[in-house]
Amino acid sequence: MAETWNSAVRQKSRELHGDTWHVEFDDSITPDNTAPGWFHYISGSFAGFTCSLCKRYWASKRVQVIFHFSLNSASSLGTIKVRLFKQECKSCDEAHMEDPNFPAENIDVLVERLVGKIRMRCYKEDLGSSNRASKFYDKIEGPHESSHCEACRIGICSQGK
């Protein structure tokens, strides 16, 4: 999974002033607890889930993702920490929180939007109205299962509000 995200970041690297950025997954980051010198960005996208117990598949229209990012100017190295919010199967009594599976197209859009935030915050670029990112690949309708959504449980899911 990390390689898919790192590959998407590398594809956008020309917009990041020649600096090298890498992705790390960190399930402990929260939007209200950003380390000094770090910035945060929250977005969401369509993703699918598969229950590790019953193998049931379901899709969710808005799966939250938190990014924390920081640039070490001296070394030209940037770090992006990513937390993908999980969901649990509504059919299983003792369901586990399952990791989302984002379509590659949606990872590209999430990274495109993140790169815009990095350019504005780390490089002090004024993107103005040119900061219009692509749209997500989204093919589902239906209710959001707030009681099974990790992001809803901690109060950051836009669908649960």
* pLDDT tens-digit readout, 16-55: 998 999 999 999 999 889 999 999 999 988 899 999 999 9
Nearest to 45 by CA among 126, 100, 87, 2: 100
Contact status, residue 135 vs residue 108, Cβ threshold 8 Å? no
User: What whole-number distance in Å separates Cα of residue 12 and Cα of residue 33?
Assistant: 27
* pLDDT given at position 127: 83
Average pLDDT for the chain: 89
CA dihedral 9, 13, 19, 20 (to 10 degrees): 40
Reading the block at residue 156, the tokens are: 């950051």
Residue 106 carries which side chain, given as an amino acid letter? N
- Show the 3-state SS of 40-88: EEEEEEEEEEECCCCCCEEEEEEEEEEEEEEEECCCCEEEEEEEECCEE
Instruction: Delimit the domains of the chain by residue range.
Output: 2-153
User: What whole-number distance in Å separates Cα of residue 67 and Cα of residue 79?
Assistant: 10
Q: Is the pLDDT of residue 134 over 80?
A: no
* pLDDT tens-digit readout, 72-126: 989 999 999 999 999 999 999 999 999 999 999 999 999 999 999 999 999 999 8
Contact status, residue 69 vs residue 41, Cβ threshold 8 Å? yes
